[in-house]
Structure 1
Amino acid sequence: MDEKNYLKLLSLITPLIQRQDTVMRKAISAHERLSVTLRFLATGRTYECLKYSAIISPQALGRIIPETCDAIYEALKDDYLQFPDSSDKWKETAQLFEERWNFPHCLGAIDGKHIDIVPPADSGSYFYNYKGRHSMVLMAIVDAKYRFLLADSGTNGRVSDGGVLQNTTFFEKLQMKHLNLPDSEPIQHSSRCLPYLFVADDAFPLRPDMMKPYRQADLSSYEKKIFNYRLSRARRIVENAFGILASRFRIYHTQINLEPNNIEKVVMATCVLHNFLMEHTPNSYAPPRCFYRENVDNGTVVTTGYDATRSNVENLQVQNRGNVLNDAKKVRLEYQTYFVNEGKVPWQDSFIEM
């Protein structure tokens, strides 16, 4: 973050965190509160460690940092965490996915991550996940520019990964058809009429409005392999976003040792800061080397980008969903047929193994 954008952020949150001097002592300034909070998020240092550079007691930091994280989220969420609320806005998101990642009618890439925490006293196995660690889950939807459209944090790690999505307001509205998603319409340069949908991995259900890849055991044909490649190419955006988040905010390389409600404040603050920095300082915050890149000449993916797996951010568990709705299977087959015919891209054959 450069000085210009730091001062912009400071001006936005100062009304929310500024405190009055008293006859007993001088208040800790908004600048000091913001700078120590950003240092905490960026380094993952403990309050005991930060007290030396901030000249603020650990007890005061325990109040200041959660308060400032909450203020960052409140100040930035309306402008930098905008969830589309109309059919036209969803179409703008889908258009960008088609232009950048050759996946038409894609409304966003969905994924979730377990974030390691130190469990609160007497919490037992409430936060204990399938990997034998204590965690809370961050569920997110990302657009074609690696920006979070939606971030939902706070579900305890004990909940089955299939249940994490179902616990969100997003999924409730998706089921009730209250998201104002566009109706199915013909794809550009094709007469094929396909629905708008989200892309996800195997941890999520297959639905007419949510596509996931075929399981490895089912990759028996060229067409299925092409579908998996094209879907994964679009879905990889959310993996990149989590990778950048975990690399820039080193708090995700630690077991976060805060109260659960304060962990939520920290996570949501990092998500809006990610979008803020992607908007204003993308070249320094997320330079090209951050991202997975494809070499279309030899069919390989350059994986020097930031990787969320090198942090304490864990994938959701892959689920065997059993029976799948026939409507969802038909939609997947329609997209599969499109990708091997009029929607084919010149390099796709190089990225599959026959």
Structure 2
Amino acid sequence: MYRATQSLSTSNGTWINFTLPVLLSVALAIRLKTKNKVKRIWCKRWLKDKKKFGIANLLRELQETEPTDYKNFLRMSSEQFQKHLTLVLPLIEKKDTVMRAAVTAEVRLAVTLRYLATGNSLEDLKFSTIISPQLLGKIIPETCDAIYKVLQKTYMKFPKCEEEWKQIALEFKQRWNFDTCVGAIDGKHINIVKPPNSGSIYYNYKGKFSIVLMAVVDAHINLLWCRQVPRDVYDLKPSVI
């Protein structure tokens, strides 16, 4: 019986003969695969409607009707929020594009404060902020960096001269009856997801992975110094430090 054939050239120059039924079967399989493939959307519909569901509307309502709930939501009053917004605005404000409107500085600061207040996952925060977890993962670190830059010099003053150190020691003596003390130091394990190929570098005695945040405060528990330090330094005895 006669069968129509079709030759196909390969990368090495050889020729492979296919019968037409085989070619038709392959073409049909590719077509069905393409047809049945679920198309991915650029953004979910409800995430686009920020004016209706966004956190900005909630904040306005709380500010006008329930100031106590507003403070509970962001851990600060509306006056304090506006003050901090004015400080960080030049560092976190973004411009609109032809593709979409930028997330406002007000919302960027609000979602960051809410994240710091609750510690909720980004996947959870997307429902209350109407912002995708991917974008939240960019907004929060950027805003935290801006907050540190504008507030560090005011609220984390490290002594610069002998007189300032003596004043701290005097306050420790008067308030806590500790003589010749210029600071109280302690650390905190901040749990993290284990970085790739890090071995046991971030593994701690609690059986989790963490970085160590070390801080020094004065007699009034005001921060003087705060840094991330290697875990082996934190594990040393106080007398050695």
Q: Give distance in 2, aligned partners of 1:25 and 1:162.
A: 49
Residue 98 of structure 1 and its aligned partner are, at CA, apart by 1.5
> In the TM superposition, what are the counterparts of 1:156-305 in structure 2 within 5 Å?
157=231, 159=232, 161-162=234-235, 203-205=237-239
SS at match of 1:106: coil
CA distance in 1, matches of 2:177, 2:233: 32
TM superposition shift of 1:142? 0.8
CA distance in 2, matches of 1:125, 1:141: 27
Change (3 A) 1:29 1:141: same
Q: Percent identity?
A: 52
Point out where structure 1 has 5 or more consecutive residues left out of the alignment: 164-202, 211-354
* Larger CA Rg, structure 1 vs 2: 2
CA-CA distance at 1:105 after TM superposition: 2.3
User: More relative contact order in 1 or in 2 (CA 8 Å, sep 6+)?
Assistant: 1
Paired position in structure 1 for 2:153:
78
Post-superposition Cα deviations, 1:74-128, rounded to whole Å, max 9, x if no partner, equal 1111111110010111112112112211122211111122222221233221211
The equivalent residue for 2:185 is 110
- Counterpart in the other structure of 1:32: 107
Secondary structure of 1:68's counterpart equals helix
Q: What amino acid is the match of 2:156?
A: L
Change over 3 Å in CA distance of 1:160–1:146 after alignment to 2: closer
Q: 2:195 aligns with which of 110, 116, 120?
A: 120
> How far apart, in 1, do the equivalents of 2:210 and 2:235 lie?
16
1:22 paired residue among 97, 105, 109: 97
Q: How does the TM-score come out when normalised to structure 1?
A: 0.45
CA offsets 1:45-91 (integer angstroms, 9 cap, x no match): 11111111111111100100010111111111111111001011111
SS in 2 for 1:66: helix
Where structure 2 has 5 or more consecutive residues not aligned to the other structure, the ranges are 1-75
- 3-state SS of paired residue (2:215): strand
Sort the Cα spacing of 1:42 and 1:75 in 2 relative to 1 into closer, same or farther, 3 A.
Answer: same
Partners of 2:214 and 2:229 within 8 A in 1: no
The alignment yields a C-alpha RMSD, in angstroms, of 1.6
Output the TM-score relative to the length of structure 2. Answer: 0.65
Deviation at 1:205, TM superposition (A): 2.1
